[in-house]
Chain A
Amino acid sequence: MSHAEPKRDPGDVDTAPGHEGRDGHEAAAGIGSYLIGLGLATLLTIVSFFIARTTLVWQPSIPVALAVLAIAQMGVHLVFFLHITTGPDNVNNVMALAFGVLIVFLVIAGSLWIMAHMNHNMMPMDQIMQMQR
């Protein structure tokens, strides 16, 4: 079976499980997926850098556009580079990802929310300095 290429892999006796991409056809499909991912990611990156400096659009909309582009590019990376898909063989990976995204959202949004309120409720710094005198 695997002794077709005996040069590189003397210990390669237990090839079978989950071992993919041996023949040229699957390898070509894999490269195609990476190429699509590279193209989309490059496009999104270029648009991000262009939008950051442009004066063509209403300025307050720029951070929102940048956030949307970044999330889109992370999706491209997940699908085409990390191969996280919605297929039935990927349910566990997707569930773990969903949990991770939930925690990330809670940490970032919660921190910003709490710290903004604390800043809002705190006495201005110069008054604190006066009280300490």
Chain B
Amino acid sequence: MSGLPATAGHGDPDRVGYNGESRARRHMAERAGGLVPKRIIVGYGFWIFLLSDIVMFSAFFATYAVLVGQTAGGPSGRELFDLRSTAIETACLLLSSFACGLASIGAQAHRGSWFYGAMAATFILGAAFIGLEVREFAGLVARGAGPTRSAFLSAFFTLVGCHGLHVSAGLLWLLTMMAQVFAKGYRADILRRILCFGLFWHALDIIWVALFTMVYLMGAAT
């Protein structure tokens, strides 16, 4: 345990301390004060947070799956869901996730126009997603199918609304990151925040995949 093994993989079979990097880069990481690059630690910690967020969503998914049949004589998903709107929302979020990936590459390459352009595209697509979702919710409430109508609709609004709140918070975070890069430049800590934002945005898209499949497609199919 004392000191550092000469080669990664022998003294540290799980490679807890290393990122498969070259010896020179590892040396620089050690000089910077820690065994592991801070970027790796930050990414790992945020990944743990994302997994806990996904576990929280799984509780909402379980609630929805239990209550999906309890319509209390009200409308079921088959009558309510408009798959065309869902398809557009899905496309918006997927393309926004792609644009977010381009933005993180642009940030790492320190390309200003690339980063701002991709982040702006991410924001516009994300905002379009939220707009479509708000329109859908308003339409449901106007048809008397609000969250108070039945247990099924309560669970539906909770699950989809919680995802929508996450996306809205992500949009605020996105603007914050653009402002921070504008004000402070591509500092190491800002780049780590951009890494975390990218992970968050991609994780939201993963949750949306589960959501549109389980709620909308299965709701419309059965």
Chain A bound to chain B? yes
Q: Which of A's residues lie within 8 Å of B, judged by CB? A: 5, 8-12, 14-22, 24, 27, 30-31, 34, 37-38, 41-42, 45, 48-49, 51-53, 59, 62-63, 66-67, 69-70, 73-74, 77-78, 81-82, 87-89, 91-93, 96-97, 99-100, 103-104, 107-108, 110-112, 115
For residue B32, which residues in chain A have a CB less than 8 angstroms away from its CB? 14, 16-17
Given that A21-B105, A45-B90 are contacting pairs, would A108 and B62 also be in contact in the complex, using a CB cutoff of 8 Å? yes
Expressed in whole angstroms, the Cα–Cα distance for A99 and B94 within the complex equals 26
Q: Which residues of B contact A91 (CB under 8 A)?
A: 14-15
B206 within 8 A of A: yes
Residues of B within 8 A of A97 (CB): 47, 51
CA distance A73 to B63 in the complex (A): 23
Number of A-B contacts (CB under 8 A): 171
Complex Cα spacing A49 to B90, Å: 10
Please, what's the 1-or-0 string for B18-33, where 1 marks a CB less than 8 Å from any CB in chain A?
Answer: 1111000100110010
CB nearest to A115 among chain B residues: B66
CB atoms of A96 and B40 under 8 A apart: no
Q: A77, B186: Cβ atoms under 8 Å?
A: no
- Whether B39 contacts A17 by the Cβ 8 Å rule is yes
Do A41 and B94 touch across chains, with their CB atoms under 8 A apart?
A: yes
Asked if B187 contacts A9 (CB within 8 A), the reply is yes
Q: A18-B38, A52-B221, A91-B14 are in contact. Are A107 and B28 (CB under 8 A)?
A: no
Interface string of B32-55 (1 = CB under 8 A from A): 100001111000100110011011
CB of A52 to closest CB in B, whole Å = 4
**Option from A22, A38, A63, A81 in Cβ contact (under 8 Å) with B218:** A63
Question: Is the CB–CB distance between A81 and B44 below 8 Å?
Answer: no
Q: How large is the interface on B (under 10, 10 to 19, 20 to 34, 35 or more residues)?
A: 35 or more
Q: How distant is the Cα of A51 from the Cα of B91 in the complex, in angstroms? A: 17
Binds A, one of B108-116, B139-147, B172-180: B108-116
Q: Is B102 a contact of A12 with CB atoms below 8 Å?
A: no
Q: Is the CB of A63 within 8 A of B221?
A: yes
- A42 / chain B contacts, CB cutoff of 8 Å: 94
How many angstroms from the CA of A31 to the CA of B105 in the assembled complex? 8
- Residue ID in chain B nearest A84 by CB atoms: B47
* Closest 6 A/B residue pairs (Cβ): A18-B37, A17-B37, A89-B20, A100-B51, A18-B39, A111-B62
Shortest Cβ gap from A129 to chain B (Å):
15
| Cα separation A25 to B161 with both chains bound (whole Å) | 41
- Report B-chain residues with C-beta under 8 Å of the C-beta of A51: 217
Most buried by B among A17, A20, A51, A88: A17
30 of the cross-chain contacts (CB-CB < 8 Å) are A8-B186, A12-B188, A17-B32, A17-B37, A18-B39, A19-B39, A21-B105, A27-B105, A30-B105, A38-B95, A45-B209, A48-B212, A63-B221, A66-B217, A70-B209, A81-B97, A82-B199, A88-B15, A89-B20, A89-B21, A93-B47, A96-B44, A97-B47, A100-B55, A104-B58, A107-B59, A108-B58, A108-B61, A110-B62, A111-B63
Do B66 and A111 touch (CB < 8 A)? yes
B186 x A9 contact (CB < 8 A):
yes
